[in-house]
Structure 1
Amino acid sequence: MNRMTRERLCEILDKMPACRVGIIGDLCLDAYWHADMTKSELSRETPFFPIPVTEERYSAGSAGNVACNLHALLTHSPKVLGVIGDDWRGDMLRRVFRRQGIETDAIVASETIMTNAYIKPIRHGFGACVVESERIDFVNCSVIGGVDEEKLLAELAAIEGKVDVLCVSDQMEFGCITPRVREAICAMGARGMRIIVDSRDRIHLYSNVILKPNELEGARALNGVLPKEGQSREELAEIARALAVKTNCRVLMTMGGSGSVFTDGNDLTFCNPFRVGRELDICGAGDTFMSGMACALAAGAEPGEAMQIANLASSITIQKIGITGTATKAEMLAAWDMQ
């Protein structure tokens, strides 16, 4: 589609702060543990050198990153729904949210699951020597219990009619989007709520929503066959079209360097990627894309316009190295003017 005017972009961005957007999904803690290896001394008890952590940074990941990206564009806190464990990672995640002004009252604290976390140890040597070690993951492997599921369903029912758009981040094998929760989400979509779904492995199970896969997730949901290397954007777009026909949902598919495409199963609307620098960190780009899309739709943008804004927002965060960053209105206008 044709690039929207700067005036139209400003009009949509100016309306965003007053919008009401919710996010339900798998909340995760991202941790960065910086170790000064020059301070490491051989242990007296074992023949190993310890890893002396001298600095720690925490941020919200997965659905939590979507919440932070929403908050960067909204005046009020997004409504955040999910289930976390009653553990130190859950406590830290709530602290991260509260520090940013994000409300946590709709997050269920469970005694039967653990909070997912990605711990990134970063070793610092002499001078500028910095190496990121193998990641340490805290992985919940327990199914959400019936009591916690009922609490989450109650929170979900409570936001119907109170948000303009609902984002769904369904990523973990043992996440909070259980079959019953997914059924409730689809029913809300059938009643007219605008819902955008990002799901790594189950996107084909949703109905009455906008599906937001990348090209790999879209192909896997369609026929289990990954796209071939070097396929054109038109060839990739046929994956989105076929997925829309299969699920009877509108599909917004990101395609990496080929931009993105929106389809209802008939027409295709393309959006080219924005120019970015050479050093990129794509971690969390999909979260930023979904939050930008949701806020734009809530502000009255057409799908093609919202897709441009989502692409613009993610082009900003992928240039923030080593952290799942957010994109603000000022940053988006500056990036727009540089294109």
Structure 2
Amino acid sequence: MRRPREPELPSLASLLPRFAESEVVVVGDFVADEYVYGETERISREAPVLIVRYESSELKAGGAGNAAANLAALGVKVRAVGVVGDDGLGNALLEELTGLGVDVAGIQRVPGRETEAKTRILAGGRSTRRQQMIRLDRAPRAPLPATAERRLVKDLERAGRRAGTVLASDYGSGALGAAAIEALRLLKRGGVPVCVDSRYSLRAFTGLTMVKPNEVELETASGVSLAQPGGLEKAARTLLKRVDCDVLLVTRGRNGMSVFRRGAPPVHVPAHGSQDAVDVTGAGDTVAATFSAGLAAGGDPVAAARLANVAGSLVVQKAGTATVSREELAAELLRP
């Protein structure tokens, strides 16, 4: 059964033309998402594993790079701040972002550092859809050098002062240390909205504008079980107070998302559309990027959340690391 459309959706389309006039800075952990495609042939004689004949490969921007790519697809001016390794993957990732229209002047190539990468092997039989078989992850083993961290903070301060919104995308790789988080707080105190999407360290990002946990992250960070009566709101209010943010945006999968603000009742946004997800890879980046774009375009947190909810529903219909364009979002908002 198709869910009824929200009456607010057509009015949200008025924000989209302002995206072209908006600027968002994305700071965080930039990841190379590699996809290797092949055809399964037979079982190896060496071990009980499939032999896959290589067909093709591609590289996409993951992590903070996926957030930046989503913003660029929405027509927003995007400045990226972060680090990559001084290696082939780092060069390929910068080329990919540049080709998408992202300003990468704030991304450093750090000598001796390995670019974080996730390599997915997808294979299948002839004339069948390729399915993911295994994922190989590579990550820097050493912390970010002090000189690189100082430059990152300076680049963040410089770019952030001119931004409509700053989006911090933390995947736990070390780009967003204590000094960078303090720089984010200073930007927020200076009037720049700062949004945070952190997989492992939500509670470190205190005193900012928006923090975006999913339900598992909310439960972990708040210490409150969502299974108890009223658990969602208890956990959200606990975390809202603990991280001292203005807005807590809780993504809830098939239940949509919920917006919690200090001194205001929660706003529950139902899941958009009626189709089951094809692939949720990077959907959180799409949501964080669209919310940030909505704020930069002058929308309030609830309007930005509704936009992000629709964008998230569109991106999970695409395979792999994907984006949603401004044209796709407009068409969905104005669909009868």
What's the TM-score, normalizing by structure 2?
0.90
> Does residue 28 in structure 1 map to residue 31 in structure 2?
yes
Deviation at 1:112, TM superposition (A): 3.5
Distance 1:247 1:127 in 2: 50
1:1-339 correspondence runs (5 A): 3=6, 5-38=8-41, 51-76=52-77, 78-128=78-128, 130-172=130-172, 174-209=173-208, 210-223=210-223, 227-228=226-227, 235-250=231-246, 251-267=248-264, 268-321=266-319, 323-338=320-335
Q: Is the 8 A contact 2:161 2:187 kept in 1?
A: no
Distance 1:54 1:182 in 2: 43
Q: Which moved more, 1:190-199 or 1:305-314?
A: 190-199
| Structure 1, unaligned runs of 5 or more | none
Distance 1:261 1:125 in 2: 42
- SS of aligned partner of 2:57: strand
Counterpart amino acid of residue 18 in structure 2: K
Deviation at 1:61, TM superposition (A): 0.6
Aligned length: 328
Q: Is the 8 A contact 2:160 2:166 kept in 1?
A: no
After superposition, give the CA deviation of every residue in 1:229-273 in whole Å (9 maximum; x if it has no partner): xx78x5323322221122221211111122212222332122111
Distance 1:292 1:49 in 2: 40
Change (3 A) 1:23 1:65: same
Distance 1:41 1:220 in 2: 42
Counterpart amino acid of residue 204 in structure 2: L
Deviation at 1:98, TM superposition (A): 1.9
Deviation at 1:226, TM superposition (A): 5.5
Distance 1:156 1:197 in 2: 14
Deviation at 1:208, TM superposition (A): 2.5
After superposition, give the CA deviation of every residue in 1:288-334 in whole Å (9 maximum; x if it has no partner): 0011111111111111111100101111100002x221112221233
After superposition, give the CA deviation of every residue in 1:170-203 in whole Å (9 maximum; x if it has no partner): 112x320011111211222222210000111211
What's the TM-score, normalizing by structure 1?
0.89
Distance 2:85 2:162 in 1: 27
| Structure 2, unaligned runs of 5 or more | none
Distance 2:334 2:30 in 1: 34
Q: Which moved more, 1:154-163 or 1:127-136?
A: 127-136
Q: Which moved more, 1:138-147 or 1:64-73?
A: 138-147
Q: Which moved more, 1:194-203 or 1:323-332?
A: 323-332
Distance 1:100 1:116 in 2: 20
- SS of aligned partner of 2:104: coil
Deviation at 1:335, TM superposition (A): 2.2
After superposition, give the CA deviation of every residue in 1:185-229 in whole Å (9 maximum; x if it has no partner): 122222221000011121112223111111111121112x5533x
- SS of aligned partner of 1:153: helix
Q: Is the 8 A contact 2:39 2:53 kept in 1?
A: yes
Deviation at 1:75, TM superposition (A): 5.0
- SS of aligned partner of 1:249: coil
Change (3 A) 1:288 1:18: same
Q: Which moved more, 1:96-105 or 1:297-306?
A: 96-105
Q: Is the 8 A contact 1:35 1:52 kept in 2?
A: yes
- SS of aligned partner of 1:221: helix
Counterpart amino acid of residue 187 in structure 2: M
Runs of 4+ residues over 3 Å off in structure 1: 2-7, 40-43, 46-52, 225-228
| Higher RCO, 1 vs 2 (CA within 8 Å, ≥6 residues apart) | 2
Q: Percent identity among equivalent residues?
A: 25
Q: Is the 8 A contact 2:13 2:334 kept in 1?
A: no
Q: Is the 8 A contact 1:216 1:226 kept in 2?
A: no
